[in-house]
A and B are shown apart, each in its own frame.
Chain A
Amino acid sequence: MAEKVSELIYDEQTNTYSMDPEQIVRDDVEKHHWLNTAKSILKDWRLYLMLVPMLLVFLFWRYLPMYELLGSFKATEVGVDVADQLHIGFANFKTLLFGTKDLTYDFWRAFRNTFLLSFYGLCFGFPMPIILALFFNEIKSNIMRSTFQVLTYLPKFMSTVVMTTLVAMLVKGSSIVSGMGVVSQALQALHIISPEMAEAGLLSNPNLFRTIYQVSGIWEGAGYDSIVYFAAVIAISPTSYEAAQIDGAGKMAQMRYVVLPSILSTVVIMLITRIGSLLSVGYEKVLLLYDPLTYQTADVVSTFSYRLGLNGDSQQGMASAAEMINNLIGMVLVIGANAIARKASDVSLY
């Protein structure tokens, strides 16, 4: 530490330390020497040591799995190291993408479902938090607003298991013990669904899966997702509203000319992020909600891969290939979205 102090020049007039200009030049010259790199690491070894646990965790359990992706070019032999398995090139990919078997059909169905679940989420789930934030802004009483906010954030903290169990209990039909779920009953009473549909239970109806998925998604996340928009809305200066009012602007005009421009950049960023993650559907929720009766609309690529790879061990290579196709396209979307976001504003997402 003493060495470090001696490098600094003390300026009595401004009471500050500064670096000797020659020292800075010397540093610049020496930077290019590899020995200097080693020296700098040795001098700061504690800092580099702090990095080690994180690097190891990510190496072992985020990057080593990528090595297993080699399996997608192999004929799977369970229990054999992936490098030693028989190499079959792109055969698995060809079967999935251009084959004629059921597997190809199931893969494309899963790919379509993945996209559609996100896309409908974009259409219905995305606007909801914005609407909530605008409404939160209208509630001037702090107690009321906090109450509303606390209640709407709440579902976000429930586990996927609890949430899906609740959904299953609320929409079940009467085939399972102890009668119909309260939501099935209500919808039947309101003549939104037929008695037969209610009897059978809504979760085993392929036509309703996407609706259930989106509604439960909004229930779970809309309140919490509104936080970021609310922060943007509340940052608007009250004088902006007053100026608009003096100009005779009604509520709609204020929304159009004051609020909307102020939150637009946030909305654009969130929209781009959302588009970037169009192909990453959380498998846990789907896995817990679907059953063989609803595969038609519910099966997504990761659940398809899960059934193929974890239940039937012999098709691990095929399963890896399926998810790799999806995740590679997903990565291109994310990176593209991030690049656009960087252009659209000064804020980058990562």
Chain B
Amino acid sequence: MKRKLAASELIFKILSYLFLGIFALLCLYPFVFTLSSSISSSEAVDSNQVILLPKQIQFDAFKAMFTDNAFWNSYANTLFLTVYGTIWAVGVSILGGYALSKKRLLFRKGFNFFLVFTMWFSAGIVPQYLNYLATRDVFNAVGIMDDKWLIVIAMGMAAMNIILLRNAFEGVPSEIEEAAIVDGATEMQVLSKVYIPMARSTIATVTLFFAISRWNGYFWARQMTQNVNEWPLQVFIRTTLENYTNGDYITGWYNIPEHTYSPNSAIYALIICAVIPILIIYPFIQKYFAKGVNMGGVKE
């Protein structure tokens, strides 16, 4: 049944398309501009001719970057931090969230408070820094010299994600668990055969939250890595930008021997490389993020 739209509804509809269209394009524009600028010639970039589409296409900025060992090194470090960091964080969170979801757990309220308090009060940057320094000494003393393990183990845990998992596990009907226990399943089997499959969409969401924050991590990685070889990609991008604004761009990998590309293009190429992995998986994962936000409101 089609009804004629009232004038006010029609206006509102047009307005929605217009507003959302503009906003969506504004969200997309910086990425298109970045890509175009990274593959345009130095004359085009330096004289501000690139507005939307690339001009006089060249790939020399990418070529120079791909022949740079420091770049690949930082990429490998980021992969390392993302893979191990996510496995560690998700593992700890699933175990903790599962235990917290059990009504029979003694001191359950206390453990919950222990977790939630960290969302209310943080010691601050300097105490955390001193704490990480002390942790590093301990790690070094037991023979873990690579600061990447410090980042993996000590950083990036999030109380909110554990609470999301706890709530998901609480939502699993207890009859299923009882049936499994009657069948003689151990605690670990109940978790892996019953709870993890039942809560898999929340686990996927939390895994993605962790993975994205690991991929994007910058501040503590920069503070706590002593060795340039341990820098992740985000630190590499930032230091490149800093060198560039300080005028040191002639000496780095992004130097311009034959002036085939602008130093700007080098920065833009770096940004493209940092966002490409996220852009590739993004269409497949975005529904999980939408889910994660709506799980935010929590009862207890």
Contacts and interface: CB of A to CB of B under 8 A. Distances in A.
Contacts of A41: 106
B293 A224 contact: yes
B126 A51 contact: no
Interface string A307-345: 011100000100110011011101100110000000000
Question: Chain A: interface secondary structure?
Answer: helix
Interface string A1-36: 100110000000000010000000000000000000
Contact-residue size bin, chain A (C-beta under 8 Å from the other chain): 35 or more
A217 to B, nearest CB: 13
Contact of B293 (A1, A69, A71, A228): A228
A40 B219 CA distance: 43
Interface stretch (B53-61, B62-70, B92-100): B92-100
Given A64-B131, A168-B241, A47 B102 contact: yes
Contacts of A68: 123, 126-128, 130-131
Contacts, number: 304
A50 interface: yes
Interface residues of B, number: 114
Interface in B226-285: 234-235, 237-238, 241, 244-245, 247, 249, 262-264, 267-268, 271, 274-275, 278, 282-283
A113 to B, nearest CB: 16
Nearest to A163: B30
Contact of B125 (A156, A231, A306): A306
A66 interface: yes
B121 A327 contact: yes
B135 A348 contact: no
B297 A177 contact: no
A350 B300 contact: yes
B124 A287 contact: no
B237 A162 contact: yes
Interface in A244-286: 245, 250-252, 269, 283-284
Nearest to B51: A182
A338 B11 CA distance: 39
B176 interface: no
B210 to A, nearest CB: 13
A4 to B, nearest CB: 7
B299 A348 contact: yes
B30 A166 contact: yes
A223 B293 CA distance: 12
A251 B153 CA distance: 54
